[in-house]
Structure 1
């Protein structure tokens, strides 16, 4: 009896009344049911608010000219690798990032590469193209706050996991390795964009909520990241990202909605992000998307946990290695 009283009080605390709780006896069993009403207008409100956020982000510039120039070279069938490498070398930061990528565990080279021409050849045209999207987004969005730094740290880990998930579990689909890696890097771009825009945006969004009679809770959902995937995808489309990366950003929390040719990329990014959330205690085995679990052939929580631990150990080892090399160069 006391348990039922406590349960009803808890329901009231989250805004539900007694009518949402039903208990009855059927065929010798006691059945309890809690009904949580879904506000149909909530989804519509989220969509409206997302549109407004994207529309309001007028301060985000286009990609830097040096990146656009390299993209044009990549699109020109007459371009030579040497020409592309020479153009990249005019940007020290871009050169350093490309060399860092080539010398990471992603390529598993027997010795360090310090020549930008060799690096370009190793990464390949598609790899360079994808890295430009990642590099450009990071430069434009920055890492000047603790929130952004944490988000980028999470993104690096997700990218590593996504790449290695494809490499180890989908050897026949190595052609999506680059997409999986960059998709992992940019999957939370919506959160970063939200924290990057001009200072008065939040006030303007709140005003918009008042004008359109959108519940304050909807705004809080957005601020907390509930709809960040769609925001990130809209920005990716604005920046003319490839469809595969847009899909990875848009569906990294809802892989079951992806039915196109980009399903493999979306599944890899979703699972990589799930690895991170599982590590942090933010997700349980039971919450994983069954379609993805089946696609990767996981047999149970014990196996899944072991794989997550192995990936985490690999990422931490790689992070220490890169930090050590940076220290030696300094």
Structure 2
């Protein structure tokens, strides 16, 4: 691959040569179209995310725990979650700068989860959110974007928001007005930095989903690289691939093509028990396949978006949502623990 400065100088030389040669014939529109496609393909092939691995952040809770928790969980790449409770609008850019800078220092790809849309989690375990209005949310997103410019990041955008907010208001009483516009704005703004944005689409057991391709379109999937599935959930990878195929086919029918998807495999190492609606620290959950980008057609790869060992909420022995718990990590790794609950 030529250094950018050499490419630029070569392009300038060819341009001067073309302008100074009266006998040269301009390419036809078909030739220009073919050349544009070739150039676009070459640019995509050079994307560093195609060759760099994902960043392993030593500041993650499991890494700090040491021992088996570091080797089996913390040594795997996991997403850095941006939540407004911890990273407010005035400070979130500096946190993003620090994280993507650490990733760049190791020549790895940074992976972030943006989780701050108003009305988030519909009043459940992760509903505490200081952002209450669309203008507040957009201002927060703009600051995140400033930290991501030209950093070639991967961003999972607003887990659960789209399937929750597209449910009846009885299911989601905190559904904010204009939520599709907020998702679309975030997708566009973050993608303009060069980030690969994956708009979250829930999971295969979140039914009915016949209208979800249209909802994805309305929420700005055109700006994103694609969508994510199974975030913080436990569905088998085969089920998620089938679900993603359904969404891709549905998107193509309404004019949205070329999209990709990723699957969260952090905790889907065992088949769900019963109807699969036990999703708050289920006792049967096990660690899933390791995160890896594979670029197999539309399937970009597996990610660990949820951090294994962190609680979903105060159910099945869990502590507060997002807090580390050794007992939960033991259950995921070994199927049992000497503890029966997580201390607060």
The TM-score with structure 2 as length reference comes to 0.25
> Which structure has the larger Rg over C-alpha atoms?
1
Structure (1/2) with the larger strand percentage: 2
TM-score by length of 1: 0.26
Name the one with the larger helix percent.
1
